[in-house]
Amino acid sequence: MFKAKDIMKRDVITVRRQTPIYEAIRILVEDNVTGLPVVNEDMSIAGIVTEKDVLALLYNIEDRMRKVEDFMTEDVVSFDEDDSLIGITECFIESHIRRVPITSQGKLVGVISRKDIIAYILKLRHKDKAVC
């Protein structure tokens, strides 16, 4: 059985609730990511801030004092590192979610995106071809 910990990205870029929103946007752009987990001091998940969450800033571009907590989604779908990739894949298929935080004992330890699973599918396909 394929597990989340087999393919999750472990070097996760995170922000805190009090991070200025324009700092979070800079990270999204410069690191070419579509979402950032928002973590508490103990690395538990407080929320997630995504490209979609910050689109409304176009209407008020001068609103520089706002924080990540003003835009983040608090109801975050996450999975444990021992959860099956099948369950994560089904979540992606059934929702508009593009990435999910991965936890261990309630703490953030990684993230998996749709693209990560697609790359894993391709890797498995090449492995099968090599066996033939």
The answer to whether the CB of 129 falls within 8 A of the CB of 117 is: no
pLDDT of 66 over the 80 cut? yes
Report, as an integer, the average pLDDT of 10-36.
Answer: 96
pLDDT of 129 over the 70 cut? no
Report, as an integer, the average pLDDT of 107-117.
Answer: 97
Domain count, the chain: 1
Residue 41 phi/psi, 5° resolution?
-55, -35
pLDDT of 97 over the 80 cut? yes
Report, as an integer, the average pLDDT of 41-46.
Answer: 98
pLDDT of 29 over the 80 cut? yes
The residues, any chain, with a CB within 8 Å of residue 91's CB and separated by 6 or more, are 77, 79, 97, 100
| CATH, residue 13 | 3.10.580.10
pLDDT at 130: 61
pLDDT band for position 52 (50/70/90)?
A: very high
Range of the domain at 30: 4-131
- Render pLDDT for 3-14 as a digit per residue (tens, 0 to 9): 999 999 999 999
